Amino acid sequence: MKPGTTVSLTPGKRVLFLTKDPERIRKQLRGEIDLRMDDLLVEDLLDDVNTDAMTPAWACFDYRPEDIARNAYAGITIDGERLFPEGSLIAGNFEVIVSGYRKGVGSSRETAVQAEKWSGIRIAIAASFAPIHARNNIAQGVLMGDHDALRRLQRGESVPLADFQRGWDSITQRVIEHGGLFPFTKAYARGEVRLPAPTTGPRPMTLAEKILARHVVGAEGPAYVEPGDAVCVRVDGGYSHEFTTAQVHYFLEQEYGKDYALANPVKFAVFEDHLIYADSVPRMAPFSAKIQLLRDKQRLFQRHTGVQDFAARNGISPGICHSVARERIIEPGDFIQATDSHTCMGGSLGSLAYGVGATEYAALVVSGFTFVEVPETIRFELVGELPAGCAAKDVMLHILAHHAKEQATLDRVMEFGGPGLRSLSPDERATLANMATECSAKAGVVEVDDASLEWIAARRPGADVESLRAKVALPDPGASYAGGVHVVDLSKIRPMVATPGDTAKGIPSDPTNGAYIDELGDVRIDIAYGGSCTAGKEADLDQYAEVMGEARAAGLRVREGVDFYIQFGSEAVEEYARRKGYLDVFQKTGVRVIHPGCGACIGCGPGVSTTKDQVTVSAINRNYQNRSGPGQLYLASPLNVAASAVVGRIVAYRKGMFTGSEGR
């Protein structure tokens, strides 16, 4: 595309509105009705359309976009039936798709965009977009606009391309002009594109801004950045996993030939973690051959590139990529990019880390740099200390319900600091950073102190606190926070859950559906699950063991009729639990222990529900419909998941609670 280009609807092509009324979607797919934005309100449209709904895990077992497209929106079900039959988006002859607020929340999977694009969609309309999903649209050349732009298009107007570029930085505008990231980066490599030099002068900077300023390519002397600046920055490292690596390899071969090479593979890695237990889930059995092909493609990529290899050995994974990267790869001050939305967990070590799609990752591993718009920051100043029975998960459920739901965190970096932060262990701080993506934030960054540095040094041979301290970045006094500074008094946090939604009523199951446990009523459970990158850390194992140890002392175990699973985040965490004697406690109280991996969190391991009437309470990070099976999924802290497993219904843990009648 060239400057001055206009965008029009193609005669004969259609517009699909994702309405809260599923029957109106069915009628559009069948060609019985066509809707107009002039006749609808934004409130009539689905909010929080998540990437699990657009391409559920099993749909991602295909790595070629044209194959993925056949199962576009397969994750939306009504009474167990797909709302979008196979191939229906392709068959509908649509070129525009329309939704409400926060389109594309959830996993970073670029497959969600590919499913739409290869079904014929070239324009996505929404009131707002989740940040990673927006970047994926841009990388794939899918235009994004608002509902007013659609009204103009449906009235027959030609809308200037500039209207679809508005609000983006100068580099992103050029990517949009070129029709996607690969065409742009090739033009840049040929010298056909010149990027504007940063002009921001000295200013106090937030933690994320300071990290990006250190990484600006071509800067002479100290660099300064501010929100909205478009900069080319070096990438220190990153990783992909068997869910995404095959597509990265496929794109690189397509764009750069079979002899492509990475700029600097030393701090990049591949992980076999997401699908390690998929074969044990009955509904995944039909996809075994595709899963094995993904594993084989990842091994081919690793041999071709020489990146670090965290493949499974004897069927056991070294651990979840985010957990192991935190233990063994990421250092303070790093800028990390990886193909998974929970990459932001690395921000707990004072790095800036966030997920990107396969296209963006492929481009940056070849070049060693990437293009970013400096994001705004929202700061959470933690004060006080958590009451007994509360954990960092409760803090994040509080922030999700009170800040993310109103979009205060949308596309911003969440910076955590304050005196209350020091009362949280490094593992609990990792929970804060990890769940930034559930807030639709760009990333989560946590101020580093000696406790953080000692945690890293204890896990890295040859590392020492002083050498790590030299890499630390901290926010400047007087830094400006566009999202404001929000004080969170930890002493006032109460045990919470995120509740399932009601798809039939247009209320999605979402982590922002916060509720206090003491106001929840009687919710009986069938499954309790403790694990994932969010809740499979050493501190989480301490919490599970504390509860189950008390239950054992009271002569109790997991309630009959409840299955309680605990899965480790890494081999190091499993070894920690063994040394502490936790495995014996779990075995004697009826807990089913699983080797490291993502497992039920992504619907690919023990702990998934199998029927829609089952109820699960889980310590994972997101509860989107069908993500961990067809049942109802509540999110809770490790303490409350374990206590609920003993009692048989969702309860808030209190020390000594099993000595009375509650656990009987």
Residues with Cβ within 8 Å of residue 398, at least 6 apart in sequence: 488, 493, 496, 514
**What DSSP designation does 614 have?**
-
User: What local confidence, expressed as pLDDT, does residue 392 receive?
Assistant: 98
* Separation of CA 155 from chain center: 37
Q: What is the pLDDT of residue 215?
A: 96
CA distance 568 to 534: 10
Share of the chain above pLDDT 90, in %: 89
What is the C-alpha to C-alpha distance for residues 96 and 125, in angstroms, rounded to an integer? 7
Rounded CA gap, 54 and 50, in Å? Answer: 7
pTM, to two decimals: 0.90
Residue 57 has pLDDT above 70, yes or no: yes
Whether 156 has a pLDDT exceeding 60, the answer reads yes
How would residue 661 be classed by pLDDT, with cut points 50, 70 and 90? low
Instruction: Specify which residues 507 forms β-bridges with.
Output: 502
Neighbours of 303 (CB within 10 A): 10
Percent of the chain with pLDDT over 70: 98
Token pair for residue 316?
């056991």
Question: What are 597-650's pLDDT values in tens digits?
Answer: 998 998 889 999 999 999 999 999 999 888 899 999 999 999 999 999 999 999
Instruction: Say how many C-beta atoms besides its own lie within 10 A of residue 492's C-beta.
Output: 12
Position 1 pLDDT exceeds 60: no
Residue 319 · residue 571 · CB < 8 Å: yes
Residue ranges per structural domain of the chain: 10-178, 207-375, 495-664
CA 396 to CA 121: how far, in whole Å? Answer: 35
Which residues face 445 on adjacent strands? Answer: 415
β strands within 473-597, DSSP E: 485-489, 496-498, 514-516, 527-530, 563-567, 592-594
Nearest to 175 by CA among 150, 195, 191, 160: 195
Element (H, E) at 328: helix 321-328
Q: How confident is the model at residue 328 (pLDDT cuts 50, 70, 90)?
A: very high
Phi-psi region at 4: left, alpha or beta (left = phi > 0; alpha = psi -120 to 50): left
Instruction: Tell me the C-alpha distance between 585 and 557, whole Å.
Output: 10
Q: Whole-angstrom Cα distance, residue 524 to residue 639? A: 17
For residue 142, pLDDT over 60 is answered with: yes
Instruction: Determine which of 5-14, 392-401, 506-515 has the lowest per-residue pLDDT on average.
Output: 506-515
Distances (CA, A) of 284 to 61, 241, 281: 10, 18, 5
Amino acid symbol at 565: Y
Q: How far apart are CA 163 and CA 136, in angstroms?
A: 19
Site of tokens 């070849």? 366
Tokens standing for 254? 């397509």
Digit-coded pLDDT (tens) for 411-450:
999 999 999 999 999 999 999 999 999 999 999 999 999 9
**Number of helices and strands (H, E) in the chain?**
24, 26
CA distance 515 to 398: 9
In this prediction, residue 107 carries a pLDDT of 83
- Angular region, 121: left φ>0, alpha ψ -120 to 50, beta rest: beta
Q: How confident is the model at residue 3 (pLDDT cuts 50, 70, 90)?
A: low
Its CATH architecture, for the domain 207-375, is 2-Layer Sandwich (3.30)
Round to whole Å and give the CA distance between 133 and 113: 7
Rounded to the nearest integer, the mean pLDDT of the chain is: 95
- At position 439, the amino acid (one-letter code) is C
**At CA 21, angle to CA 18 and CA 25, rounded to 5?**
45
Cβ burial 210-226 (10 Å sphere, 16+ → b, else e): bbbbbbbeebeeebbbb
> Is 52 in contact with 106 (CB distance < 8 Å)?
yes
The secondary structure of 192-222, three-state, reads CCCCCCCCCCCCCCCHHHHHHHHCECCCCCC
Check whether 662 has a pLDDT greater than 60.
no
- pLDDT at res. 164: 97
- For domain 10-178, give its CATH number from 3.20.19, 1.10.3470, 3.30.1370, 3.90.870: 3.20.19
H-helix or E-strand containing 96?
strand 94-98
Does the domain at 495-664 match CATH 3.30.70.20? Answer given as no
Q: Please tell me the distance from the alpha carbon of residue 351 to that of residue 484, in angstroms, as a whole number.
A: 21
- Find the range with the poorest average confidence among 167-176, 278-287, 550-559: 278-287
Residue 78 in this model has a pLDDT that exceeds 80: yes
Would you state the pLDDT for residue 89?
A: 98
- Give yes or no for residue 185 having a pLDDT over 60: yes
> CATH topology of 207-375 equal to that of 495-664?
yes
Query: In angstroms, rounded to a whole number, what is the distance separating the alpha carbons of residues 137 and 141?
Result: 6
Which element (helix H / strand E) includes 371? strand 369-373
CA distance 262 to 462: 27
Q: Residue 179: which pLDDT band, with cuts at 50, 70 and 90?
A: very high
pLDDT confidence of residue 595: 97
